[in-house]
Structure formats: structure tokens, C-alpha cells
Amino acid sequence: MSKVTVRPSQTEVVRVRASRAGRVGTAEVTNALGAEVAGQRTPSGGSPITAFAIRQALAEELRSVGGRPGLSDADRRKIPVANPVWRMAEAMAARLAEDGFRPSPSQVASVVLTMAFRQFDQDEAQMGRARDELRRAAAG
């Protein structure tokens, strides 16, 4: 087993401000860490692929039991939603609607929330695997 020697860093100390200072911009973090921006930003308006994925999930989940088709295994819940976010759900529902397929804004919001949580779980799992690999590498 090899021995690890820790030496003091020669880089500047980054001071964390109190939460009252507001959000820290990407440029400020990048400069403070001496990093570079990598990758692409997700388009703010979404993409056709995203809309297709939402439509596919809705088509798979909507089940008709008489009356308006509903999401299978879904119970009604009250979730506070800001007006601008609700308008986005309404716009997405209108965008996805076709003859014989008219999802409600609530159904769209439910599918988007489900997709977001699933992605979060996948990201968390990847982060856990990366942490495990780093620990193994540091230990051996």
C-alpha cells in the first residue's frame, strides 16, 4: 500500500459568502477555480426530442376507464405551482395535442415531474459509482 503525502495548496483560497449574497454566477465560479466551461447548455425552450419523450410517456401512461383518460396508478394531489410554470404546462399540453389525444396540463406536469425524478435518480447513481471509483483508486 502506498503512502499519500498531503501538501498545502498553492492556489488562492475561495471564500464562501453568506446566503444573503445571492446566487453565484457560472463565470465567477469558473474564474475562482481556474476552470473552463465544458459542454453545452440545454436550450431553454426545450427540444423536439424532449417534447417527443414527454408525448411518448403520456401515450404509454394514459388509460381510459370511462370519461377522460387518466394516468395509471395516479392519485390526485395538490402541489403548489407558480403561474409561469403552470402556463408552461398548459403550453406543452396544447403543443402535444392531436386528434384523439389531448393531455391536460396536470397530466403533462405529472409526466415531466416523473421524468425529472427518474433522471435525478440516474444522476445520483452515477455520482455514487464515481465516488466509489475515486475511493477505490485513493485506497489502492
Which residues sit opposite 60 in a β-bridge?
none
| pLDDT tops 70 at residue 47 | no
Interval 59-101: pLDDT, tens: 777 665 555 556 666 677 888 999 999 999 999 999 888 887 8
Between 110 and 74, name the one with better pLDDT.
110
Residue-averaged pLDDT of the chain: 77
Which three three-digit cell numbers place residue 45?
425552450
In three-state secondary structure terms, 140 is: coil
pTM of the model: 0.52
d(CA 107, CA 89): 9
Q: What is the percent of the chain where pLDDT is above 90?
A: 9
| pLDDT tops 80 at residue 12 | no
pLDDT of residue 19: 57
| Contacts for 106 with CB less than 8 Å, ≥ 6 apart | 89
| pLDDT tops 60 at residue 34 | yes
Looking at residue 102, the DSSP 8-state letter turns out to be -
d(CA 77, CA 71): 13
* Mean pLDDT, rounded, for 47-51: 67
d(CA 52, CA 96): 8
Residue 24: phi and psi, rounded to 5, are: -100, 130
